[in-house]
Structure 1
Amino acid sequence: MNEPLLSVRGLAVNYGHVEAVRGIDLDLHAGEITTLVGANGAGKSTTLMALSGLVKKAAGRVSFDGRDISAMAPHRIVAGGLVQVAEGRATLTTLSVRENLELGAYTRRDGAAARARDIDHVYSLFPRLAERAAQLAGSLSGGEQQMLAIGRALMARPRLLLLDEPSMGLAPIIVQDIFRTLQRINAEGLTIFLVEQNVKQALKLAQHAYVIENGRIVLQGSGGELLGDPRVQAAYLGH
């Protein structure tokens, strides 16, 4: 197999005296969807924030496309092609949909025409955003705000998209729409790392998957393998 696009070795994160992430290893390969699943408080979101440079690492090395980004500032990580959609969406509620999307391109220096083409592409992925382009983000439904958060991240032209709980608090029909769109953008070539509470959906979507418990990786395999694993079924799927 080719070298991983993102390689993590010995990643540890502490909050005070609490070990939130305890020396984990991960490999994400270009063109794949990889998912990280586990119970609330297992260390999923902390892992993503550590990769994005948003929380301090106690130990470990993170390499992106062969480059050590362990100590890199978050805005430089984004400019390098690793972009995160935060849990809770974090749209800028007093700006319009289009202004939120334009802000997503703040690290780019390729001109207004290229950014306009990418906004049109986001609108093709999420037609509701096109219908609400002039509307304030704060007036959108939860599902529409999630679409906007993903669209804004895509405006940075990521090579790797990190998604933190994109289905949280959304109606099942909206979740299906969002997961179909993730499949589409992955088919277009974007590598995705998905943290998700909906374990069944995440494992169906992912080519590779990791299970984290108490800050440690305890299982890994293909999405299909873990979906059929009795331990995963007992712990997360109610079987």
Structure 2
Amino acid sequence: MNPNTEQALQPQLSVRDLEVHYGPVKAVKGISFDLMPGRITTLVGANGAGKSTTLLALSGLVKKQATALQFNGRDIRNLKPHQLVASGLVQVAEGRATLTRLTVRENLQLGAYTRKDSAAAQAADLEHIYQLFPRLKERDGGLAGNLSGGEQQMLAIGRALMAKPSVLLLDEPSMGLAPIIVQDIFRTLQSINQTGLTIFLVEQNVRQALKISDYAYVLETGNIVLEGSGRSLLGNDKIQQAYLGG
């Protein structure tokens, strides 16, 4: 991205003073961050830091407070989850959440449930998903419950893409997958991002996440404690010691 162009860009998603409480416990403690258009931005941190809760708050799935939550210039603090999806903010849930008794094709078609465009447009996007994930095309009529973990992750990403997002939220896409499959998933995310799609990635695989990130935030016990480019954080001593074994 041209630096002069980047300076002129406004955040696609702007979050200010986001808080989430679970009873008396404050899981997210007033964090602020921006997602710039066309970037991969990552939120990293240990288990229990509040990463997944942050995504759930953005998706409208947990109660939240924020002084500002602007998506493409629109205040989305009070939108319901299906309204957020229709607006272009779409999450791939942790654990993939595929509908195991439906076929691969049926799962993908359900991803388009908020769309108002033509069946032909949706069919074209379905074919694009099959080009992106050839294994899903091979298993088109099979039950999602019979897919491997890596294939289910592909299905979850494909289903989210069928909603035509402008920002894709991903919660731990590498969880439980073999290292070679993780590399495939991360390469696919980079390929998707190169089409212009903004990605917000929550990930415990800190090294892989930072390698593909334009920008990243480090979350500890509900607070953002560090931020910078993915490359700069990979070389940061604190990150090395806390997350990269060195």
Structure 2-normalised TM-score? 0.96
Counterparts of 1:54 and 1:203, CA distance in 2: 27
1:50 to 19, 39, 57: 57
AA of the residue aligned to 2:168: L
Residue matched to 1:20: 27
- Unaligned runs of 5+ residues in structure 2 are 1-6
Is 1:136 matched with 2:143? Answer: yes
Is 1:88 matched with 2:76? Answer: no
Q: Percent identity?
A: 72
Shift of 1:58: 3.4
Residue matched to 2:123: 116
Shift of 1:108: 0.5
* Contact kept? 2:21, 2:28, Cα under 8 Å: yes
AA of the residue aligned to 1:134: G
Counterparts of 1:230 and 1:160, CA distance in 2: 31
AA of the residue aligned to 1:181: T
* Contact kept? 1:12, 1:60, Cα under 8 Å: no
Shift of 1:111: 1.2
Distance change >3 Å, CA 59–CA 4, structure 1 → 2: closer
Residue matched to 1:125: 132
Counterparts of 1:144 and 1:234, CA distance in 2: 33
Residue matched to 1:9: 16
AA of the residue aligned to 1:203: L
Shift of 1:3: 0.9
Shift of 1:146: 0.3
Residue matched to 1:216: 223
Counterparts of 1:125 and 1:226, CA distance in 2: 30
1:167 to 174, 181, 187: 174
Counterparts of 1:144 and 1:132, CA distance in 2: 10
AA of the residue aligned to 1:67: R
AA of the residue aligned to 1:48: L
Please list every run of at least 4 consecutive aligned residues from structure 1 whose deviation after the TM superposition is greater than 3 angstroms. none
Residue matched to 1:199: 206
* Partner SS for 2:28: strand
Shift of 1:60: 3.5
Residue matched to 2:44: 37
Structure 1-normalised TM-score? 0.99
Counterparts of 1:59 and 1:18, CA distance in 2: 17
- Let me know the Cα RMSD of the aligned residues: 0.6
Residue matched to 1:100: 107
Shift of 1:61: 2.3
Counterparts of 2:116 and 2:79, CA distance in 1: 20
Shift of 1:59: 3.7
Residue matched to 1:190: 197
Counterparts of 1:155 and 1:161, CA distance in 2: 11
AA of the residue aligned to 2:200: F
- Unaligned runs of 5+ residues in structure 1 are none
Q: Name the count of aligned residue pairs.
A: 239
* Partner SS for 2:196: coil
* Contact kept? 2:16, 2:66, Cα under 8 Å: no
Counterparts of 1:50 and 1:127, CA distance in 2: 33
AA of the residue aligned to 1:184: S
